[in-house]
Amino acid sequence: MNLLKIAILCMAAFAFSAFSFADEVADETEAFFTKLEQKSAETGGAVITGIDKISTDLETTGVASVIVTLRQPEKCKKMTAAEWDSPASLEALHLETESVSKRVMSRLANKGVKQRVVYENWAGFSCDVTKEGLSELAADPDVLTIEENITCYPKTRQGLALLNAATVKTSNYKGSGISIAICDTGIDYKHPQLGGGAFPNSKVIGGYNFGDSMSDPHPDAGGYEGSSHGTSCASIAAGLVPTSAYTTAAGDFIGGVAPDAKIYALKISDPDGIASADNELKAFDWCVSHKNDNASNPILIISISFGGGMYSTAVDSFYPAGVASVQAAKNAGITIFASTGNDGNCNGVSFPAALSEVVAVGAVYDANIGRIGFNLDPKSCLTPSPYYENTWAGKPCCYSNSSPTLLDLYAPAHDASCCNKVYTSAISSLNYIPDFGGTSAATPYAAGCAVLLQQRAKQSLGRYLTKDEVQSLLTSTGTIIEDSIKTPKVSKPFINLNAAFARLPVPVGGVTVTIGDSAAVTAGAAWSIDRGKTWRSSGTSVEVTPGNYTVTFKSISNYLPPEERNMTVTVNKTTTLSVKYCPVGKLDLQMAAGNFSKGVTSSIAPGNSLDFSWTVKSNYTFANKFWCEIFASKTGGFDLARFGGTVTNSYTKEGALEATVIKPSNLLVNTIPNGRYTLVPCINRGNISGRLSETNFLNNWEAIPGKRLEVYNPVATKVDLQLRDLKVGYDPRTPNKVTFTGKMYNGGAAAMPSTGAWVEVFYGTLTPEGILMPQGTLCAGQKITSLASGASANFTQSGNITGGAMKKAFAVIVDSTDIVGETNETNNSQLLYDNSILPAGKKNGIDLAITDMGVNAYYLAPNSIAPNSQMQYAVVIQNKGKTMPTGKVYLELFASQDGGVSTMSGSTLLWSEQITPPAIGKSQLYQPTKTVNSIGDGMYALTAVVNRIGAGTNPGDVTPLDNKRTLTAQRVYLKTPSSSSKMNLTWTNGPVFTKGTGNKWTVAGTIKNTGTTRTPGFWTEVFIGTKQANTGFFYKDSGTVFAAGDNTKDGLAAGASKVISITGTCPTGKILGVLTDSTDVVAETDETDNYNYSSLTK
């Protein structure tokens, strides 16, 4: 950074110097309009300025554009500064000025006057007039002045060198709390340094497009390729500092002068990139009306790098409408900076810089950029054109219009690095300009400095500066620079922000921190406000400049330090803070609440972000890291879903207060099985590595009531996991032990997702049809973390079965937790058993078999089916028997989550169909269309069974193994519409766990449907299990049965209740858990009230 920039922007030690200004707003305004009234009275009608231009336009085109100042309502002339800052007072003023304008226009109807722009904060408008219209206007008793509507142009020059766009890099002065309005060609708010995204955004918070008469102020909003001029000016004044991703593309652009300031975008230019004076004045007028739209960021500065005409003296008398607009802005506390122009004029500046209450800004070189030449106006005193000159930092640019009386100050210009319009969505240097220049660049640079000055004034004085105070501070403290090459020579101040700040009192506040634990203080507890450079003892006070600070705490043995605290220090006030160190082992975190909104009313796909928050309570504040996780449950939190991981990536939080809301922005949904889940957030889980020591881990998790997350992956997977080379190891000498070895093979075209997949072995009993009734797992399972297309991975599973391994059936399943979204899961498993354990068929001569099966693609994933909808499937049944069944038999369709090894308990997928079997020796096609049952949302394989032994009046079958068939390579997605979840089961009494004799227990209570819709049939079951000591999570002991469950076969009507009583046997040292809707067939609004647990049985 060059020395010139440092001189401007350095904000080091400031001296005390207080000053104040009287409020003369009403007096100035009344004097101005009274003078206009007197002139009108003297001439006997409206005063017309610029009559030569107006007459020429009327003669050549028949129409002239003019701006009209009207007789003002008394309120406009009498308003105080406080009233100008009051939205209510402004609204009242607008009603009165509007009334005057309407009254005049009503008299001019159909008389050659077409209104263009109406002003709100003073009575006036612009219009297009014919000769007749001009005469009517001039004769109207409420018209004071008529002036030409001049044309203005952007004041840009292009150069070669780099500005480096230095900003104030202190922690306290970056423009926060203030807005700057950029009146120009519009702003590309999609640029990352200007907020990015839509309008409005966090940077460009408002504005209007006067050039195209629309709300969108984007340069291209009018349907044409607009100019990037306004985008460049906005970035110089208040562009955001580029993040690391953009620094290379941004080049020397390092952010605007006031990067924390907000921006209002006011587009004043037309498709040709030029602006009329009436639109410029309307933009000023708009800023007054909308100054406090965002009360936390009022508009205090206007920057306009447009100009028209050339004037050697102030033009107040020629452009009274301009004076009225600028005076209204001044009254409202808004300072306007305008470019003088780039014509090389030696004694003249352009409009609106030529208005006496506008701060006129000229340009100096930012650095030595070598010898450079510019084409100047033929009227310039500098010849020849192009005019070449040597350059150095601080030298007035030859093109910068000059005036001993009208030029107010200089600011850097050539060459400025800044933002361009966004020409590519990629990170590219095309979106930045390295050589923006002219007084167009100097003006936003000066305006940005004024923003910082206002921020400092608010801290030092407790108020903002008036326009006169801003101008006086910048001009009286600037470094005088002489423009010696022009005639007359001109000496004007170059902004020296360091000196301007020195005129303001140094703002001072205080910080005091008390550490409440005397033992910790004795052990060395201390605090710091400078990130540990200086450690301070408890109760110490320190003086600092107002602003935002972070207090950190020293780490000491046997204690957890408090979490760092952010605090705001204000002028002349001491901010106090009291904290406690937490003795190791005394911490108690509590999961108070969790919340999210995505995935509730519509599904969310793996890889998408989840807007989840953990609300954490703590008995101490602390600074140490802890884990935040989200688990899922299909039972409302009774137990956790078995897919071997969390719902999203886990998050590490560094420290917590007594009450902390943790809401990361980078949570992505993991690849988990499709379905609807109750979310169970957990903090500092008691069995996780690196956990903080707590007095109680059991309150670290809480199931979220009243909403569930719906997950659905719409991406068609190309992974096909298969079970291969399965071998069984069994030794009769150790009859309880069995070992399985084999391979998980990926036969798909894509690699397995990074979530991996589990291999597990389940054991249980069989139905006569060969369907497994699971009772438990053989061992912990094995996770395969990666598997490329065509690759395989070996696995080994070994364990013991009480009573003998040969007395159980085993299912070896790859992707047992259904994480990998395959369409075909029938090749994922293999069922193994000794034939002696298969229940025998019937000796009745009946032998039916399902030989084929199909489902229309309409019902298959990725499409979904809903409970209570209709679904059709087709099966071919062959009669191989010798005896014809008497009467009908049942055809049933079950759902399976393991490729058909087992089926969902409690209900069929569709209502069953009674069929007449085909004749002996014949086959027949059956195509039933049946109602879909509610069995819990998710992805399911389909298994059809005919003449199932034990179902209804079925006679049974000689060889029941071929009575079932599973659809290969296809699955259905069952999805309950969110709007249809109007059922809710809850325990209104109990459940109560009562011990009987021995190990007998009775679980009893009352279940009620508090929803508005009847439920389907459901089960209530009691499970035996354990609670993990360090977490409190319940784990079912699937190998031990308490008792048969209670089947509410017909469901419960809305408002209906049912008394439940289940008696069974529970081993000593176990916990009982009772769960209603245990098979998850009721689509409830809330499942967290479906269960409860006993205490440890004794």
Domain that holds residue 171: 3-12+153-366+395-502
CA-CA distance, 503 to 687, in Å (whole number)? 61
Task: State the DSSP H helix or E strand holding residue 618, giving kind and residue range, or none if neither.
Answer: strand 613-618
Task: State the DSSP H helix or E strand holding residue 451, giving kind and residue range, or none if neither.
Answer: helix 439-461
Angle, helix 277-289 to helix 87-107, in steps of 10 degrees: 140
Instruction: State whether 757 and 701 are in the same domain.
Output: no
CA-CA distance, 629 to 499, in Å (whole number)? 53
Instruction: State whether 264 and 242 are in the same domain.
Output: yes
Predicted local confidence at residue 156, as pLDDT: 56
- Domain assignment present for residue 758? The answer is yes
Instruction: State whether 666 and 738 are in the same domain.
Output: no
DSSP E strand stretches across 420-564: 432-437, 479-483, 490-494, 509-515, 527-528, 541-544, 547-553, 559-560
At residue 928's C-alpha, the angle toward residues 963 and 852, to 5°, is 40
Instruction: State whether 604 and 679 are in the same domain.
Output: yes
Q: Torsion over CA of 128, 131, 136 and 142, rounded to 10 degrees?
A: 50
Instruction: State whether 206 and 285 are in the same domain.
Output: yes
| CATH code for the domain of 244 | 3.40.50.200
- Domain assignment present for residue 30? The answer is no
Instruction: State whether 209 and 253 are in the same domain.
Output: yes
Q: Exposed, middle or buried: residue 613 (CB in 10 Å: 0-12, 13-18, 19+)?
A: middle
Instruction: State whether 173 and 235 are in the same domain.
Output: yes
Angle, helix 320-331 to helix 25-43, in steps of 10 degrees: 160
Instruction: State whether 736 and 642 are in the same domain.
Output: no
Instruction: State whether 182 and 289 are in the same domain.
Output: yes
CA-based nearest residue to 320, from 33, 25, 26? 33
CA-CA distance, 427 to 987, in Å (whole number)? 58
CA-CA distance, 926 to 846, in Å (whole number)? 19
Q: Exposed, middle or buried: residue 977 (CB in 10 Å: 0-12, 13-18, 19+)?
A: middle
CA-CA distance, 143 to 164, in Å (whole number)? 50
DSSP 296-314: TS-EEEEEE-EEEEEESS-
Single out the residue in 800, 817, 837 at which a domain terminates: 837
- Domain assignment present for residue 389? The answer is no
Buried b (16+ CB within 10 A) or exposed e, 194-204: bbeeebbeebb
Predicted local confidence at residue 297, as pLDDT: 97
* Count of residues making up the chain: 1098
Predicted local confidence at residue 19, as pLDDT: 38
Sheet containing 1057-1065, strands listed edge to edge, beginning at the edge strand earlier in sequence: 985-995, 1000-1009, 1057-1065
Count each helix (H run) and each strand (E run) in the chain, helices first.
15, 64
Angle, helix 51-61 to helix 131-139, in steps of 10 degrees: 140
pLDDT single digits (tens) 33-57 = 999 999 989 888 899 999 999 999 9
Task: State the DSSP H helix or E strand holding residue 1004, giving kind and residue range, or none if neither.
Answer: strand 1000-1009
CA-CA distance, 500 to 1000, in Å (whole number)? 87
CA-CA distance, 534 to 577, in Å (whole number)? 17
Beta bridge pairs of residue 632: 679
pLDDT single digits (tens) 107-157 = 999 999 999 999 999 999 999 999 999 999 999 999 999 999 999 888 654
| Residues in CB range of 1096: below 8 A, 6 or more apart | 1069, 1070, 1071
- Domain assignment present for residue 35? The answer is no
Predicted local confidence at residue 100, as pLDDT: 96
Predicted local confidence at residue 134, as pLDDT: 95
| pTM for the structure as a whole | 0.56
Instruction: State whether 445 and 574 are in the same domain.
Output: no
Single out the residue in 810, 837, 864 at which a domain terminates: 837
Single out the residue in 926, 954, 974 at which a domain terminates: 974
| CATH code for the domain of 861 | 2.60.40
- Domain assignment present for residue 247? The answer is yes
Question: Taking the CB of residue 35, how many other CB atoms lie within 10 A of it?
Answer: 15
The CA–CA distances, whole Å, from 988 to 1046, 1051, 1055 equal 17, 17, 11
Predicted local confidence at residue 155, as pLDDT: 67
Q: Are 210 and 219 in contact (CB under 8 A)?
A: no
| Residues in CB range of 728: below 8 A, 6 or more apart | 738, 739, 740, 832
- Domain assignment present for residue 374? The answer is no
Tell how strand 972-974 and strand 864-865 pair up.
parallel
Q: Are 284 and 275 in contact (CB under 8 A)?
A: no
What amino acid is encoded at 36 in this protein? L
| CATH code for the domain of 535 | 2.60.40.1120
Q: Are 830 and 812 in contact (CB under 8 A)?
A: yes
CA-CA distance, 378 to 384, in Å (whole number)? 9
182: Cα separation from own chain's centroid: 27
Predicted local confidence at residue 164, as pLDDT: 28
| CATH code for the domain of 1057 | 2.60.40.10
Written as six digits, the tokens of 681 are 């957030």
Q: Exposed, middle or buried: residue 886 (CB in 10 Å: 0-12, 13-18, 19+)?
A: exposed
- Domain assignment present for residue 28? The answer is no
Total domains present in the chain: 7
- Domain assignment present for residue 633? The answer is yes
The CA–CA distances, whole Å, from 366 to 330, 402, 410, 420, 460 equal 30, 18, 11, 20, 30
Instruction: State whether 928 and 967 are in the same domain.
Output: yes
DSSP letter at 563? P
Q: Are 58 and 153 in contact (CB under 8 A)?
A: no
- Residue 870's SS3 state is strand
Instruction: State whether 890 and 917 are in the same domain.
Output: yes
Written as six digits, the tokens of 45 are 């009608």
CA-CA distance, 599 to 986, in Å (whole number)? 24
Tell how strand 47-49 and strand 143-148 pair up.
parallel
CA-based nearest residue to 819, from 887, 759, 878? 759
Predicted local confidence at residue 5, as pLDDT: 32
- Residue 225's SS3 state is coil
Predicted local confidence at residue 980, as pLDDT: 55
Written as six digits, the tokens of 969 are 């390579």
- Please identify every stretch of the chain with a pLDDT value under 50, giving residue numbers as ranges: 1-22, 157-171
